[in-house]
Structure 1
Amino acid sequence: MKVLVATTTTQGDRDDDFSHTVDGELVFDAGQCDRVAQDDSWDCECSLSFAGVASGELTTTAVVVDLPMDIKQFMRAFRDGLARTNICRECAAVYAHRARICALQWPIGTIIERDRDVIQERLPVG
């Protein structure tokens, strides 16, 4: 099944890169945080990152991979992971659905990045 996972590949290509996730963990776009929503400044790490399902941490890079799991296992991973990290267990289905739709947009092996509301393929710097 095509999914998004955290990757350290291309980390450091951008000045604002960071990765606090576990390499290979499922990730999703959690959207903007409350602070960004309130003052529209977009100067928070949340505006550049994906959140890790298992760790609850953030990363600026994700890669599309094909994992040997079915949709029930995928949904359970989101539900259990978000419950453990206290992100939003009730949001698990929405986040999982968005992550799955996002992963389907690119071929396996594509590294993606997020800039505010735009998720795009990460192109080489230079």
Structure 2
Amino acid sequence: MIEWLTWVLVAVATAAGLLCLVFGIAGRPPADLTLGSVLLVELLLLVQLGVAVTAPLVGNEPTGNLVEYYVYLVSAILIPPLTVLWGLVERSRWSTVVLAIGALAVAVMVYRMHVIWFVQMA
């Protein structure tokens, strides 16, 4: 795991979540900007997956449980597409709030993944 990538992912997911929350509170349905911001989070999560697969192979071992890390990562990867699907099916202000909750949940999960990889002792 690359530490700077983690912080970029947390920052982008938090920004996307706050953006979607503001748009949802304003009563706007999901639009290209809100859906695109959540899809950007998904793209960064897929990059994180690639890094997480290759990092142990080159000597960057996690300090915590690798299985727990991958459970968090796979769960986080599933959240953005499901919230985007929700936003495309139900075009209401609450769908934008669901996008916000999903992005903010991913930010928390990525921070927990950081703790598992760098801080937590197995």
Scaled by the length of structure 1, the TM-score of the pair is 0.27
Structure that is richer in helix per residue: 2
Greater Rg over alpha carbons, structure: 2
Q: Which has the higher relative contact order, 1 or 2, with Cα contacts under 8 A spaced 6 or more apart?
A: 2
